[in-house]
């Protein structure tokens, strides 16, 4: 949960930082363009009122300084309100340039709309679109009232569109309001409509992009939540398995030691199989086999101590009782893990518990399965189970040395054990013996 919150905070900071830096760089380019215009105008190449160009250049420089101050401060750069301040500054600059330089900056109204696309924000996109359209409509009126309207352009505009004389001062008794209404109708309104259509297209594209990004983020968040839940479930399942294996160990130390040792042998054999590119086992199968191995003798908790700890040979009746433990193990696993959603894990655990005493020749128990009818996980468990019984001391027998145990296993390959697993048993034999070495010394 904490990691998700930290990740969202980092993502939010980056979402604010990058567009703000981009806006600062764009403003720097605008200042460069105005500076070039200023120089060309001073050289007489352009014929624009110098005072008006000076005002535009000064204002853009002031805004650039403010932007650089914001960019230098990490807190300001990533603050959610910064983008609104920046967009307001850009709109003000565009409006000022349009009022003072009018026709020379007609394309400037597109700048806020294009800049807003970097923020991937509905609010800032709407602010830029509405602000640009309003500035586009207001700037000719302010230009007329402040008498900064280009006389050259004004004359051509009137002759072409209005067919009435509109000068800086009312002429022929025409009121200022009539002049402004005509400017609005014939100049401002067409520009506003054109800009609105262009801006609406960009706004729609931006919103679609935002929706797509939001959907992707939601999918990522759901995947993260699902992964966290699966990890929690997996952890719970493992704790359940360990708890069940602890029950065996607490019931009988000899059986408990057997469970621990055979689980390690199963892991070593599974590791060897996993290293073979020709024998493909999934990570899930590998994990399930290792986690399920400790439960293979769970059913022995139902076998009386008088049988389990009997120092001599078992009677036929007692042996039949012992042979019930695989079925009991599978039944306990099925009931105890009924609430676990991992069906593969349950199936693997049941297969190991129920079939680890089956034989390749069909003479095993409880079902007399033969060959590959026996699940792979049970065939692996069978080797580990018998090997541990051979090299470990029991109340009714002494332990074998490693050589004798190895020979016994080899003789039973093809009859009791799967010969296809023999090479993996041999590959990890040194590791198995190294694991048992301390046990032997004790």
CA 141, 143, 144, 146 dihedral sign is positive
pLDDT above 70 covers what percent of the chain?
A: 74
The mean per-residue pLDDT over the stretch 430-439 comes to: 88
pLDDT computed for residue 6 by the predictor:
43
Better-scored residue on pLDDT, 212 or 296: 296
Whether this prediction's pTM lies above 0.75 is answered by: no
pLDDT computed for residue 404 by the predictor:
94
What is d(CA 236, CA 252) in angstroms, rounded to the nearest whole number?
25
Summarised one tens digit per residue, pLDDT across range 34-48 is: 888 888 878 878 777
Going by C-alpha positions, the residue among 345, 355, 376, 372 that lies closest to residue 299 is 355
pLDDT above 90 covers what percent of the chain?
A: 23
Whether the per-residue pLDDT at 196 is higher than 70: the answer is yes
Domain residue spans in the chain? 2-206, 252-441
Better-scored residue on pLDDT, 12 or 343: 343
Of the ranges 42-51, 84-93, 207-216, which is most confident? 84-93
pLDDT computed for residue 62 by the predictor:
86
Weakest-pLDDT range from 18-22, 177-181, 234-238, 422-426: 234-238
pLDDT computed for residue 11 by the predictor:
43
* Architecture of domain 252-441 in this structure: Orthogonal Bundle (1.10)
Position 223 confidence tier, pLDDT thresholds 50, 70, 90: low
What is d(CA 243, CA 257) in angstroms, rounded to the nearest whole number?
15
Summarised one tens digit per residue, pLDDT across range 325-374 is: 999 989 988 887 776 667 888 899 999 999 999 999 999 999 999 999 99
Of the ranges 218-227, 290-299, 359-368, which is most confident? 359-368
Position 170 confidence tier, pLDDT thresholds 50, 70, 90: very low
Asked whether the beta carbons of 126 and 206 are under 8 A apart, the reply is no
């Amino acid at each position: 949960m904490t990691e998700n919150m930290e990740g969202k905070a980092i993502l939010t900071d980056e979402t604010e930082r990058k567009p703000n830096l981009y806006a600062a760089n764009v403003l720097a380019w605008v200042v460069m363009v105005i500076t070039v215009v200023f120089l060309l105008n001073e050289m007489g190449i352009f014929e624009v009122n110098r005072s008006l160009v000076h005002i535009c250049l000064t204002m853009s420089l002031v805004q650039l300084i403010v932007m650089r101050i914001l960019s230098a401060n990490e807190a300001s750069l990533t603050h959610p309100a910064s983008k609104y301040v920046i967009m307001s500054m850009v709109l003000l600059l565009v409006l000022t340039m349009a009022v003072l330089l009018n026709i020379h900056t007609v394309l400037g109204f597109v700048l806020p709309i294009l800049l807003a696309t970097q923020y991937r924000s509905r609010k800032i996109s709407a602010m830029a679109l509405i602000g640009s359209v309003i500035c586009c409509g207001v700037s000719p009126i302010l230009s007329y009232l402040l008498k900064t309207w280009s006389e050259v352009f004004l004359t051509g505009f009137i002759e072409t569109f209005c067919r009435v004389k509109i000068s800086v001062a009312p002429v022929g008794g025409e009121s200022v309001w009539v002049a402004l209404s005509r400017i609005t109708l014939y100049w401002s309104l067409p520009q506003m409509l054109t800009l609105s259509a262009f801006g609406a297209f960009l706004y729609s594209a931006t919103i679609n992009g935002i929706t797509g990004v939001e959907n992707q983020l939601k999918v990522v968040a759901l995947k993260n939540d699902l992964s966290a839940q699966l990890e929690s479930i997996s952890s719970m399942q493992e704790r359940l398995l360990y708890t069940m294996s602890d029950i065996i160990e607490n019931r009988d130390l000899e059986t408990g030691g057997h469970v621990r040792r055979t689980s390690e042998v199963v892991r070593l054999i599974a590791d060897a199989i996993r290293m073979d590119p020709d024998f493909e086992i999934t990570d899930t199968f590998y994990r399930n086999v290792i986690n399920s191995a400790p439960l293979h003798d769970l059913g022995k908790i139902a076998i009386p101590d008088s049988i389990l700890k009997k120092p001599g040979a078992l009677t036929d009746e007692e042996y039949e009782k012992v042979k019930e433990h695989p079925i009991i193990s599978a039944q306990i696993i099925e009931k105890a893990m009924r609430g676990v959603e991992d069906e593969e894990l349950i199936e693997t655990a049941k297969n190991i518990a129920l079939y680890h005493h089956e034989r390749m020749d069909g003479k095993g128990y409880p079902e007399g399965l033969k060959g590959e009818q026996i699940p792979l996980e049970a065939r692996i468990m069978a080797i580990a189970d018998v090997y541990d019984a051979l090299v470990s001391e029991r109340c009714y027998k002494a332990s074998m040395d490693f050589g004798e145990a190895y020979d016994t296993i080899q003789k039973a390959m093809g009859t009791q054990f799967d010969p296809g697993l023999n090479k993996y048993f041999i590959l990890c034999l040194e590791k198995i013996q190294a694991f048992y070495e301390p046990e032997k010394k004790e």
